[in-house]
Amino acid sequence: MDSAGLGVRRAAAFVAPALLLIGVFLVFPALWTLYIGITNYQLTGPAAANPRVVGLDNVLNAVRDPLFTNSVWLTALFVLGSAVIGQNVLGFGLAWLLRTVRPSLRRTVEGLVLLSWILPGTVVAYLWFAVLSRDTGTLGMLLGSPQTAWLVQYPMTSLIVFNVWRGTAFSMLLYTSALAAVPPSQLETARLAGASGWQTVRDVVFPHIRGHVLTNTLLISLWTANDFTPFLLTAGGPNHQSEVLPVLIYRQALESGQLGYASAMSLLLLLGNLVIALVYLRLLRRRA
Amino acid sequence: MSPLWMVRRIGFYVLVAVVMAFFAVPMLWLASAPFDSRPGLGLRWPDWTLDNVTATFDHPYALTSLVNSLVLCVIATVVTTVLAALAAYALSRVRIPGRDLLLYLLLLLSSVVTGTAAMVPIFVMMLQLGLINSQFGTALVIAGGMLPAAIFILKDFMDAVPRSYEESARVFGASPRQVLAHVVLPVARPGVATIFVWAFVNAWGNFLLPFLLLRDVGAQPAAVLLRTLYDEGGSANLTVIPVFSLLYSIPVVVLYLFVNRRYGFRFHGGIKS
Amino acid sequence: MAGITARGLSTVYPGGVRAVDELDLEVTDGELFALLGPSGCGKTTLLRTIAGLESASEGTVSIGSRDVTRLPPGDRRVAMVFQDYALFPHMTVAENIAYPLKVRGAARSVRDETAARTAAGLSLDGLLERRPGQLSGGQQQRAALARAVAASAEVLLLDEPLSNLDARLRLEARTFLKKLQRELALTTVFVTHDQAEALALADRIAVMDAGRIRQIGTPREVFQRPADTFVANFIGSTPMNLVPRDAEIIGVRPEYLAPAPSGLFTGTVSIVENLGVTSLVTLDCGVGYVVPEDDEPAVGTTVTVDAPPARVLRYDRETGLLVR
C-alpha cells in the first residue's frame, strides 16, 4: 500500500534523518556502554589515556559491591512504591473519581496534577525543599513538628511521595482515555445488576483496560527506574540512603571518575530495564 | 438522600480536597517566596516586595541562561518535530517489514537510554567530538532521545489521516511534497502541535544532558543555572532562586494553558492498549 | 474527451491475490459506464487501476489514444470522486473545488472564478466559504463532484458515488448525477454494488466477479438476458428463479411469472411478502412469483405459474452459461 505515492526511495529519505539522529545519540551510546563496561576506563589518570579491557571484572565487582546492591534495592523500592503502586493507584483513582464530578472541579484538579508534571525538574526540586526542609518547611509546619528534616530522616519515603506527586499526571491521563473507551452500556448493566463501585471496577472496567494498565505500568516503571530527579533532591544522601541507580552511576562516573565501572552498572541497569520490558510483553501477549 | 449517601458524598469531597491540597501546596511557594522580603525554603504569608525581581534581573547569568534555554529548546523541539513528522509519515504510509517491532524497540530504548544509562558514553562521545559546551550539539542529543517517542505518537496521528485524501490529491496531480504540505500536515496538525508542545516541555526541563555537556556557565540553560545559584557565602541564593524559578516556569505554564484551551490535555491515541 | 480501453489488464496484490484478472474493457467516449459486482469482485481495484492508484501487473490501459499504463495518476487527465468524498477538512468548499487548479499553479483569480462557476453549476452557491464538516451529506457529494469537474479531466471516475447518502437522498442524487453527466458529456465510470443503481444510471454495465467481467451490456440486456447464472442471480430486486431441470437450469424472473391453468411450475404457497403495490409469493418448490396487490393467494393453496416463452431462459447446468 503506497497511497501517498512516496515510493520506497523517497520514504527512506524521509525516515533517514530521524534514524541517523537516533542511531548516533541513542543506539550508538547504548552499544558503547557495553564496550566501556568491560574496560577500566577512567575520567582522569593513566587509565583515561589507555583504557584496558578487563572483561567482566567490572560487572562482578559491581554485583559484590554493597553500594551497588544497596542501590538496586533502593531503586526497586522506588519503582515499586512510587510508580507501580503510587502513581498507578492514584492515577486510576483520580481518573475514576473525576468522571462524575462537575466539569469545573474536574478541570481544576486535572490542571493541578498536570502542572506538577510539566514544571521543570529543577524548579520542582526547590518546591519540595520548601515542603520538606527543616525549621521552615511547610510539612513540618502543618504537622507541628518543625524539627523534622524529612529529606535527611526519611529520604526514601520523601522521594517516593515526591515522585507520586511528580508523575501521577501521566497515569491519570492514560486511564482517563482508557475509561472513556469502556462501553457505557456495560457499566449500566453492572449498575442494573446491583454491583458496587468496587465490583464494577473489578468485573467490568478492569478487563477492558488491562492492556492500558500494563502499558502504563511498564512506561512509568522504566521512567522511574531511570529518573535522575532524586539527585536534585537528596543527591543520594544521607550516607547513600537514597542513592538509586541513576544517582549512583552519575556519582561513580563523574564524581569518582570510574567511567568503566559506571558503564558496567549502566549495563546492568539496561539489562534490568530489558527484563521489565520482556515481562511486560509476555503479559501483554498472554492477554491476546 | 439517605444518611449513608450523605456520608459517602462528604467523604468523596474530603478525598478530592485532600488530593487537591497534596498537589497544590508545594506550588504555593512559587507564588509567595518570589515576592517575600525574606524568602526562605518554606511557606509563609509574604512581606510583599519586588526587590527580589530587581536582584534577579541584575544577576549576571539569569537572563542569559533563559536565552540559552530558549535556544537549546527551540533547536531540539524544531529538529524533533520536523524529523519525527517526516519519519512518522513515511512509516505510516510505506510498509516496511518489522516496522512495528522496530518502533517498539526504539521506544523502549529511548525510555531507557535517555535517562542515565548512557550518560557515560554520551559524555565521552561529545568530549571526543569536541562538542562539550556546544549548544547545538546538546540540542541534537536531546532531540535524539525524544525522537522515538515522538515518531511513535505522531505515527498514530498520521495513520488516522484517511488515505483517500492523499489519493485524491494525487489524482489531481499533486506531487508527494504537495500532498504532504497541502493535505497531510494540515490534517494531522493537532498531532504535530501535541508533539511540538511535548518536545518543548521536555527539552525546557531537561537537566541531566545540559548539566553533563555544557560546563561553561555562559552556555548553560536555566535548568542548570538554577542548581548552581549560590551567594557569596556559598549557600543557596534565596533572593534570586524563587523569582528565577518563577520566570523559568512561565513558558511551560503558558504553553500548557494554550494547549489546554486549544486541544485539551487528552490522549488522542498514541498510547494504545 | 476520450474513451477508455483496457487490454489483458491484471492487477495483482503483493499477497498474490489477482484482484483484476486479464480483463478486456472498452468504454466509449461520453458514456456513463457502471462497474457492478459484489464486494471483493475487483471493481474498485479496476477503477483504481484506471486512475493509476494501483499499478497494472500485466496489460495496458489507454485513455483516448494515449497509453497511460505507466503514467502516475496526476498525468492521466482523470478526475476521481472517492466513496468518502475525500474533501479536505481544513479547506473551504471553494478551496477544495479549486484544488486541482492550485496544484497546476493557476493564479488565485482563476481559481476563485472557476470555483464560483463550477459551484453554481452544481447548486453549491452560497456554500463556498463553508468547511466540508458544515455541509450535509448531499452537499458534500456535490462538492466532491464539483472538484472533479473543476479538474477538467477527460475521464471521470466515481467510487460508490451514492453509497454514503441515505435512501431518500440517493434517488435525488442519482437523477442529479445522470443529468450532470449528460450536460458534461464526460466519459464516466462508476463503481457500485447496487444493481438497481447501475440499472437506473448507466448506459452500459459490466458485471464483475472474481476479477473478471461476466457480462457487458445495456441495462436492458443485462436484466432480460443475463449471460450466466451468476449475473442472473445478481441482477434484479427479487431473486431470479433458477430451477434445475434435466441438463439445464430454467431461469425466469418472478415478475414474469403469473398463475395459469398449466405451466412451468406447480407448488403450494408457503410465504407471502408484501412489496408495496405487489407481493412476492413463494411456493414450497422454491419458486417465487409476483402478484398485484389484493391478488395474493392464501397460504396452503396449490398454484401453477407460467411465463411468456421469450422470458424463460435456459442455462447449461455444467457451465452456467446461457443456452438460449
B47 or A87: which carries more pLDDT confidence? A87
Same domain, B36 and B85: no
CATH code of the domain containing B173: 1.10.3720.10
List of chain C residues whose C-beta atoms are within 8 Å of the C-beta of residue B174: 74, 103
pLDDT of amino acid A164: 96
Instruction: Tell me which residues of chain C, numbers 34 to 53, contact chain B at a CB-CB cutoff of 8 Å.
Output: 51-53
Q: Classify residue B197: in a domain, yes or no.
A: yes
CB contact under 8 A, B205 and A270: no
Answer whether 0.95 is exceeded by the pTM: no
Mutate: best of B41, B140, B178, B254, partner A, most A CBs <10 A: B41
Could you tell me the three cell numbers for C297? Answer: 393467494
Q: Classify residue B54: in a domain, yes or no.
A: no
pLDDT, mean of residues B187-191: 86
Chains that touch B (3 or more CB pairs under 8 A): A, C
pLDDT of amino acid B269: 42
pLDDT higher than threshold 70 for residue B59: yes
Q: Radius of gyration of chain B from Cα atoms? A: 23
pLDDT digits (tens, 9 = 90+) for B107-166: 777 766 666 667 778 888 888 888 889 999 999 999 998 898 889 888 888 888 889 999
Residue with cell 460508490: C160
pLDDT, mean of residues A180-197: 85
Q: In the structure, what pLDDT confidence band is assigned to residue A185 with cuts at 50, 70 and 90? A: confident
pLDDT of amino acid A258: 82
Which range, A261-275, B217-231, C272-286, is most confident? Answer: C272-286
A5 or C323: which carries more pLDDT confidence? C323
Q: Which candidate, C164, C152, C136, C150, places its Cα nearest to that of C96?
A: C150
List of chain A residues whose C-beta atoms are within 8 Å of the C-beta of residue C72: 5
Same domain, B105 and B15: no
Same domain, B157 and B186: yes
Same domain, B86 and B135: yes
What is d(CA C163, CA C137) in angstroms, rounded to the nearest whole number? 11
Same domain, B43 and B89: no
Same domain, B74 and B205: yes
Q: Show the domain range for B144.
A: 63-262
List of chain B residues whose C-beta atoms are within 8 Å of the C-beta of residue C102: 182
Indicate the residue type of A200.
T
pLDDT tens digits, chain C, 324 residues: what are they? 689 999 999 999 888 889 999 999 999 999 999 999 999 899 999 999 999 999 899 999 999 999 999 999 889 999 999 999 999 999 999 999 999 999 988 899 999 999 999 999 888 888 999 999 999 989 999 999 999 999 989 999 999 999 888 888 888 899 999 999 999 999 999 999 999 999 999 999 999 999 999 999 999 999 999 999 999 999 988 889 999 988 899 999 999 999 999 888 999 999 999 988 999 999 998 899 999 988 889 999 999 999 999 899 999 988 889 987
Show me where the domains of chain A are located.
65-287
Same domain, B21 and B70: no
CB contact under 8 A, B116 and A273: no
CB contact under 8 A, B207 and A28: no
Q: Which of B27, B49, B71 is the last residue of a domain?
A: B49
Same domain, B189 and B226: yes
CB contact under 8 A, C82 and B167: yes
Residue with cell 555537556: B213
Same domain, B73 and B175: yes
pLDDT of amino acid B226: 86
Task: Give chain B's domain count.
Answer: 2
If one counts every other C-beta atom within 10 angstroms of the C-beta of residue C218, the result is 13
pLDDT of amino acid B268: 45
pLDDT of amino acid B265: 59
pLDDT digits (tens, 9 = 90+) for A121-173: 889 998 998 888 877 778 887 887 777 788 888 999 999 999 999 999 989 98
pLDDT of amino acid A162: 95
Same domain, B148 and B170: yes
CB contact under 8 A, C72 and A5: yes
Q: Classify residue B217: in a domain, yes or no.
A: yes
Same domain, B44 and B161: no
pLDDT of amino acid B117: 67
Instruction: Tell me which residues of chain C, numbers 83 to 122, contact chain A at a CB-CB cutoff of 8 Å.
Output: none
CB contact under 8 A, A30 and B109: yes
Mutate: best of C68, C75, C77, C88, partner B, most B CBs <10 A: C88
Could you tell me the three cell numbers for C224? Answer: 432480460
pLDDT, mean of residues B248-267: 78
**Given B19, B140, B271, which is nearest A109 (Cβ)?**
B19
**Given A5, A135, A137, which is nearest B170 (Cβ)?**
A5
pLDDT higher than threshold 50 for residue A199: yes
CB contact under 8 A, C74 and B182: no
H/E segment holding residue A243: none
Q: Classify residue B203: in a domain, yes or no.
A: yes
pLDDT higher than threshold 70 for residue A210: yes
Could you tell me the three cell numbers for B137? Answer: 550539539
Q: Give the Å distances, CA to CA, from A24 to B66, B144, B165.
A: 28, 8, 35
CB contact under 8 A, C53 and B173: no
Q: Which candidate, C282, C222, C232, places its Cα nearest to that of C257?
A: C282
Same domain, B70 and B178: yes
Q: Classify residue B91: in a domain, yes or no.
A: yes
pLDDT digits (tens, 9 = 90+) for B73-96: 999 999 999 999 999 998 888 877
**Given A5, A22, A129, which is nearest B106 (Cβ)?**
A22
List of chain B residues whose C-beta atoms are within 8 Å of the C-beta of residue C99: 169, 172, 182
Domains present along chain C, CATH in parentheses: 4-224 (3.40.50.300), 242-316 (2.40.50.140)
Instruction: Tell me which residues of chain A, numbers 2 to 61, contact chain C at a CB-CB cutoff of 8 Å.
Output: 3, 5
What is d(CA B214, CA B220) in angstroms, rounded to the nearest whole number? 6
pLDDT higher than threshold 80 for residue B98: no
What is d(CA A131, CA A141) in angstroms, rounded to the nearest whole number? 9
CATH code at A65-287? 1.10.3720.10
Q: Give the Å distances, CA to CA, from C152 to B253, C97, C104, C146, C149.
A: 51, 11, 12, 10, 6
What is d(CA A68, CA A59) in angstroms, rounded to the nearest whole number? 10
What is d(CA C131, CA C92) in angstroms, rounded to the nearest whole number? 4
